Structure 1
Amino acid sequence: MTSAATPPGLARFNALEEPAALAVLHETCASTAWARRLLAGRPYATADDLYAASDTAMGGLGAADLREAMAGHPPIGRPRPGDPASAREQSGMTAAPDRLKAEMLELNLAYQERFGHVFLVCATGRTGEQLRDALTERMGNTPERERETVRTELGRINRIRLARLVDED
């Protein structure tokens, strides 16, 4: 059910046919389980309802679902070509000096070797130095703690992306 207070982007999302809605959700998060849970909750009356459903779905993802979600994210400092969301979210690395970009490449590789997946962080609004510092700090996490940190970061990214969807005119 929608009302006059329902943001236009949310109303459009609620009205999408299932395959189109699933595609939109998959652009937000590569986890099929997450997308299906959000799809099952439609229609959303408010943006906060959608965000709460996203948080709940993220909390319920198993290890394989988290791996699937992470696979949709390129390494920090190397946004996926032709992906405006990736480039926008990682804009803090765009103006970073070459020395910092090279350092991030090395740190990303060390992180992937340690944890077996891409370093995932909500990069929106962070400078290259802040991203480097976050990566360096998280290298000391246990795999279990890092998995939960990744879950939290994915939730933040999903909320930002969902807000863009909701706010679209």
Structure 2
Amino acid sequence: MDDPDAAAMLRTVCAGRTWGAAVAGGRPYATVGELLDASDAAMTGLTAADLAEAMAAHPPIGRPAPGDAASAREQSGVRDAERAELLELNLAYQERHGHVFLICATGRTGEEMLAALRERIHHDADTEREIVRTELGKINRIRLTRLVETLSGPAGPGGRRAAMASGATSVSTHILDTSIGRPAVGVVVELAVRSGPGAEWAAHADSLTDADGRCTDLPALPEGTTHARLRFETGPYLTHAFFPEVAVAFAVEPGEHYHVPLLLTPFGYSVYRGS
């Protein structure tokens, strides 16, 4: 992909030119995780002017711009009854801070965003700038995830069915954020394998949870695999992560499919074999 094409595509994720140039300039990325790491690194270097440029493309919470499907999807947790107060507080926030109230709305309810807005409106400029940097980084990760899914083409149960039909051993997962009752979107998941209890772990694949919190595109396990391990990079997803990562190892049998969901909160998690 040429640089102009990459830059144009990245502008659908974030309007900040400095961020886009940094991410485009780091290509190629061997894994999705590397792409998200590059996005995070680019965020840390943005100046106040860079952040302002990126924020200018974001509509107020509660009033997505016409035709802005990404913002409308991300703000789907806002109820009609909450929009008037959100817009009123948005105006007060903007008058105080000089820019729109920015928050990663994916997975948040309108009441949660109202609570954050009531708190953040009183912050000083430096404190609020760093919160905006963090929230914008989360938004960019989620939008990059969706962009990668779009460019990669449709993935899903078909890959799982093909693996099962061929007799291969396969793994899938999904993450439910039980603190908000919604899927965890844009979490990096790494799959490793080994052949025998004493063998070294070998990286096999990585993926990103989709809009439903699922990873359905993990490839079949190599022949001879006896154990698989899923590592969930939960730190960037959770605002205050007590567990920055979750690693789950389990035994596998040839020809079986293993669906291993993760139920996640900021201070705990559980896993199980699903179906």
Matches within 5 A, 1:30-41: 30-41=15-26
Partner SS for 1:164: helix
User: Aligned partners of 1:97, 1:63: CA distance in 2, in Å?
Assistant: 33
Deviation (angstroms), 1:140: 2.1
Larger Rg, first or second structure (1 or 2) = 2
Q: How big is each residue's C-alpha offset from its partner over 1:103-129, in whole Å with a ceiling of 9 and x where there is no partner?
A: 111100000011000000000011111
How high is the TM-score relative to the length of structure 2?
0.54
Runs of 5+ unmatched residues, structure 2: 154-275
Residue by residue over 1:73-112, the C-alpha shift from the partner in whole angstroms, topping out at 9 and shown as x without a partner, is 000001011111011011111xx143x2111111000000
Q: How does 1:89-128 map to 2 (within 5 A)?
A: 89-93=74-78, 96-98=79-81, 100-128=82-110
The structure 1 segments of at least 4 consecutive aligned residues displaced by more than 3 Å after TM superposition are none
Name whichever structure is richer in helix by fraction.
1
Are positions 1:133 and 2:118 aligned together? Answer: no
CA–CA separation in structure 1 for the residues paired with 2:130 and 2:136: 10
Q: Distance in 2 between matches of 1:103 and 1:80?
A: 18
Give, as a single letter, the amino acid of the residue that structure 2 aligns with 1:112: Q
SS at match of 1:76: coil
Q: Which residue of 2 aligns with 1:73?
A: 58
In the aligned structure 2, how far is the partner of 1:115 from the partner of 1:92?
Answer: 25
**How many pairs align?**
151
Deviation readout 1:127-168 (Å, 9 max, x if unpaired): 111111111111121110000000000000000000111222
TM-score (norm 1): 0.87
Q: Secondary structure at the match of 1:125?
A: coil
Q: Which amino acid aligns with 2:36?
A: Y
How far apart in 1 are the matches of 2:121 and 2:53? 21
Give the one of 79, 82, 88 matched to 2:73.
88
More strand, by proportion: 2
Three-state SS of the structure 2 residue aligned to 1:30 is: coil
CA contact 2:16–2:51 (8 Å) conserved in 1? yes
Give the residue type in structure 1 aligned to 2:17.
T
Residue by residue over 1:20-77, the C-alpha shift from the partner in whole angstroms, topping out at 9 and shown as x without a partner, is 1101101100100000001100000001100010001000001110000000100000
List gaps (5 residues or longer) in structure 1: 1-15
Q: Which residue of structure 2 lines up, in the alignment, with residue 28 of structure 1?
A: 13
